[in-house]
Amino acid sequence: MGAFGGHEGRERRWTGLDRLESRNRPPRSLLLALVLASVTLITLDVSGGGSSPIEPARRAVGEAFGPAEAGVAAAVRPFTAVPTWFRSKGDLADQVRDLEASNAELKGRIDLAGFDRNRLEQYDGLTTAAEDLGSALVPARVVALGSRQSQSFTVTIDAGSEAGVGPDMTVVNNDGLVGRVLRVTRTTATVLLVIDPDSTVGGRVGSSMEIGFVTGSGSLDQEAGLDLRLVDDASVPARDDTVVTWGSTTGPYAPGVPIGTITEVYSSLREASQRAVVKPFVDFSALDVVGVMVPSGSRSDRAVIEADGSLR
């Protein structure tokens, strides 16, 4: 009986191995079908361009994932703040020294204020232009970041169409320009950062009022900066000059938003043009609270910061 049982066991084992054998070979027909499905999707999305048939699917998936991402980000936030608790006296002393140094530098700059007055007037003009637009800010937090494997620099923020946010709106934080809204769901929006290699912003050099185009460099590193190419080849941008958005009321970027300062200027003899590196004011590796510029008086599900600084 025992021997019989053992025999049966071996039988079963063999059939089991047969099965294993057959499942070890993945079906090529299925692989081919799925690969073709992927290629079809790619083709549809590439040929569709702005109004691609994939957009509704993106929106639907976004509606489902947006609240989940916002929820998890809110749950994670207290833990990401933990490292700041463990700051030693040495760290704090270092910070005091750094702040004293920058304070001294700022004092030095104030002494040179008269020299910069001319420049200041132009900045003032730009600022009033922004105020004339009468835009208000919808506050939002960054809840998800795209990975660099996906090669695009995009983030999700927790304000969507219910908060009055729509595509092509300008996103800023307290340092300067962050990016623009690509698409929205009810509760979230996807933002294209200005450091994305696909992002191009119309820029204006603060002192000379020359216009050009600022392109992303595809790096989170603040020193890697953005690329500025001026429209007028003859004009040379100056170092330490501020670049602001040139923009329009209808275009994706509102005018007069600071982008960064020029750190390097290269002149290319072959192309007979000037290329400058702009160091962005915003630290993209530590993005948290941002504001979306919406038309003044637009309806929103949260408090909106008006142009004059009041909260509505």
Partner 1 sequence: MSYLRWVAALAAIVVALVVQVTLFPHVAWHGIVPNLCLLVVVAAALTVEAPFALVLGFTAGLTLDLAPPADHVAGRWALALTIAAFLAARVRQDQKPTALAVVGTVAAASFAASSLFALSGVLLQDPAMSVAGLLEVVLVAVAWDVLLTPFVLPPLMKLFARLSPQWAAS
Q: List interacting residues with partner 1 (CB under 8 A).
A: 16-17, 20-21, 23-27, 30-31, 34-35, 37-42, 44-46, 52, 54, 57-58, 61-62, 65-66, 68-69, 72-73, 76, 80, 143-156, 182, 185, 188, 190, 192, 196-198, 218-221, 285
- Which one, 58 or 279, has the nearer CB to partner 1? 58
Give the integer Cα–Cα distance in Å for 211 and 231. Answer: 6
- Which one, 225 or 237, has the nearer CB to partner 1? 225
Q: What residues contact 117, with CB distance under 8 A and at least 6 apart?
A: none
Output the smallest distance, CB 95 to partner 1, in A. Answer: 22
Q: What residues contact 170, with CB distance under 8 A and at least 6 apart?
A: 177, 180, 245, 247, 252, 253, 254, 257, 292, 293
- Which one, 135 or 199, has the nearer CB to partner 1? 199
Tokens of 10: 């071996």
Output the smallest distance, CB 141 to partner 1, in A. Answer: 11
Q: Write out 246-277 in H/E/C secondary structure.
A: CCCCCCCCCCCCEEEEEEEEEEECCCCEEEEE
- Which one, 37 or 104, has the nearer CB to partner 1? 37
Output the smallest distance, CB 46 to partner 1, in A. Answer: 6
Give the integer Cα–Cα distance in Å for 3 and 14. Answer: 17
Of 159, 165, 131, 142, the C-alpha closest to 257 is: 131
Please, which contacts does 21-27 make with residues 24 or more away whose CB atoms are closer than 8 Å? Answer: none
- Which one, 103 or 151, has the nearer CB to partner 1? 151
Output the smallest distance, CB 166 to partner 1, in A. Answer: 16
Output the smallest distance, CB 277 to partner 1, in A. Answer: 16
